[in-house]
Chains A and B, each alone.
Chain A
């Protein structure tokens, strides 16, 4: 069910400026992969190209292919809206919809995509998603209260519930714990471990310890040089990256010699 992601010769441009050059990787289904690297090296940019979210910025374009179970999401006939229904995303700062209640937030993806859904089906989906996001017990008595009235960690879990309510195959997470305290971060990391049984997860993180805790594979991105585009330096099993990386630059970054 969860899909595999391949990137082939991926080059990302903003207008004429080449931001990230020649990225190639394979991500197995039902695994957690971490993207690490210093600020500005392109890891969030690459993440966004995996569900065509970079197209929201005018002038952003891509050369190369991103394959989901062999199907190129940049094919000529592919609708980006459909891509994003299969590949979901959670952002750095929690962004629940302010005019909607908790229930409506979780149901938003379904309600706004397809037409009519019966109330009981919707109830079931909302409960399932909130349980999967470990939020059900905390909010089950106040589902009609505004989504913005929760704490930061709860809001982020709400956004995760919202993302998984539409049953994507792949879940992209862009530094989901950056804005949260350590306890909420732990809650979300536990959540990722349980979610990976159903979804392929790719998480961008600044926190190397988090990458080591949470992921099976890690990809290290870095700038080729000052003013040069970002690139994928090394991708390998997390164990190997953090103990015995192949590339000198990876080892420098891991051991804190820079970045």
Chain B
């Protein structure tokens, strides 16, 4: 008769495994903390320094017309309008192109053209914003003889936004299960209609997220602003002529004049920091603007789903 072993075969967790578990958990939490620290620090800094300017009366209705760097006042309206217009034109051009390219790559492309297209999109992903701006300058100002204006900034941003939206749209389209496409074909629905009425709506919320990510990437690009349009402290609603304000432009403009701090108050010298306040205010406005776009897009996506 065999002797029964006194140790149970199931046993408890060995203390070595427990120690490894604790170490791994700690490391992961630490990494999370380390990743979170710069984000929280950044947000805190921007909010703390920018809140003063943003909460002043008229921040969202006035421009910087006639305001010198040593005095307070004015607002960021010219900059908000400029950024919104430039980004809106960029989005209107890039999103249709990018979504169509993604549809081609996922639903149709098989041969050398598809491989070449994917390769080109990869290259576009890596182009620095200043290089894209130089290209637009060379094409539209030097060769075609145009003037610096806001719409050229939009064109440069298009080159930066397209690869982001193509990649995320591709991923979202691939996530749509093939069975849905098959169900649609089996009903006698042609391929293009299957894509527009079944596949795209199913992938819609993911695509919208990708678009918002693209907007977040381009909204703060400063190189195109420096090269392709001048900064103006006045309101300019016209994308096609003249210098135009923009939020990154305003940040840089106030930044360049941070040294303008010495004034006389009642005859006594004093230092003021109005430019610094406005600079941080513009930065906070930019972050809030992108976040607002993000939330709006998510609300739209949620509402368009069948509840």
Contacts and interface: CB of A to CB of B under 8 A. Distances in A.
Interface of A: 51, 53, 56, 58, 81-86, 88-91, 93, 95-101, 108-109, 112-113, 145-146, 159, 162-163, 166
Contact of A99 (B177, B182, B194, B201): B201
Nearest to A145: B306
A172 B300 CA distance: 39
B183 A95 contact: yes
B182 A95 contact: yes
B177 A95 contact: yes
Interface residues of B, number: 24
B189 A88 contact: no
Interface in B196-211: 197-198, 201-202, 204
B110 A163 contact: no
B187 interface: yes
A236 B189 CA distance: 34
Contact of B187 (A56, A98, A108, A146): A108
Interface in B164-186: 177, 179-186
Contact of B188 (A85, A96, A98, A146): A85
A58 B110 contact: yes
B281 to A, nearest CB: 42
B184 to A, nearest CB: 7
A56 B179 CA distance: 11
A91 B184 contact: no
A168 to B, nearest CB: 8
A88 B186 contact: yes
B183 A81 contact: no
A163 B181 CA distance: 14
Given A97-B198, A98-B202, A101-B306, A84 B188 contact: yes
A242 B125 CA distance: 63
Contacts of B186: 51, 53, 84, 88-91, 163
Contacts of A166: 187-188
A240 B231 CA distance: 88
B179 A84 contact: no
Nearest to A108: B187
Interface string B51-92: 000000000000000000000000000000000000000000
Given A99-B305, A112-B197, A146-B306, A81 B189 contact: yes
A97 B183 contact: yes
B193 interface: yes
Contacts of B181: 56
Contacts of A82: 188
Nearest to A166: B187
Contacts of A113: 187-189
B112 interface: no
